[in-house]
Amino acid sequence: MTETDEAMYFAAEHDTPIPYRQRIRDYYLALGYEKPYRWANYADVPFTSLKKPLSESTVALVSTSAPFDPEKGDQGPGAVYNSAAKFYRVYTDTTDHVPDQRISHIGYDRNHTSAEDMNSWFPLAALHDAAAAGRIGAVSKRFYGAPTNRSQKTTIEQDCVELLERIREDGADTAIIVAT
């Protein structure tokens, strides 16, 4: 390959994925757990094809972000992990405006992101733009908050059941899940 070919096909040495999964496994072991964290992995996922074109479909937004609450400490971009901002039950709010959502309660890699762009974890404005442009039929009347401080069993048996029920209540045809 020529230098030009290499430049077009290969990322720079420093541009490699961050090994999040291994870091989390190592972290759990360092905390004294006998087994490392086990990621959910399903061979059979209950997804279905859309029954109508996306341009005619109502799209729901499911997010792990939390509503900003000034009484819960620093939740701004770059804030340290803030467990006080966690929520433990599914919640909903209207999509008629873009609320102030935050992610300080999430264990994300604060060394490699600034978390300044709310659209990256809460793309409600982009969904409204997609509806206005005709790429999607509509945005559901509510968005949905999915808790993150749960066991996989509680997430599957409680939170996902409640999320699906609320999404169906609102008549959404499909959902975008943005897990931070």
Q: How many independent structural domains does the chain possess? A: 2
Q: Which residue has the tokens 């009484």?
A: 71
Q: Is the pTM of this model over 0.85?
A: no
Confidence at residue 7, expressed as pLDDT on a 0 to 100 scale:
53
Domain that holds residue 27: 1-39
Q: Which residues pair with 60 in a beta bridge?
A: 175
Same-domain check for residues 147 and 90: yes
Cβ neighbours for 137, distance < 8 A, ≥ 6 positions apart:
54, 55, 56, 57, 58, 59, 131, 173
Residue 46 domain flag? no
Confidence at residue 24, expressed as pLDDT on a 0 to 100 scale:
80
Same-domain check for residues 6 and 64: no
Same-domain check for residues 135 and 107: yes
Residue 157 domain flag? yes
Confidence at residue 104, expressed as pLDDT on a 0 to 100 scale:
93
Residue 160 domain flag? yes
Same-domain check for residues 27 and 104: no
Same-domain check for residues 90 and 34: no
Q: Which residues pair with 145 in a beta bridge?
A: 63, 91
Confidence at residue 87, expressed as pLDDT on a 0 to 100 scale:
95
Sheet strands (E) in 9-158:
58-63, 66-67, 91-94, 101-102, 138-139, 142-145
Cβ neighbours for 126, distance < 8 A, ≥ 6 positions apart:
119
Pairing of strands 66-67, 58-63: unpaired
Same-domain check for residues 5 and 74: no
Confidence at residue 1, expressed as pLDDT on a 0 to 100 scale:
53
Same-domain check for residues 33 and 119: no
Same-domain check for residues 29 and 58: no
Confidence at residue 41, expressed as pLDDT on a 0 to 100 scale:
72
Same-domain check for residues 89 and 8: no
Residue 48 domain flag? no
- pLDDT digits (tens), the chain, 180 positions: 556 555 556 667 777 777 777 888 888 888 888 887 777 777 777 778 899 999 999 999 999 999 999 999 999 998 999 999 999 999 999 999 999 999 999 888 788 777 899 999 899 999 999 999 999 999 999 999 999 876 788 988 999 999 999 999 999 999 999 988
Same-domain check for residues 93 and 166: yes
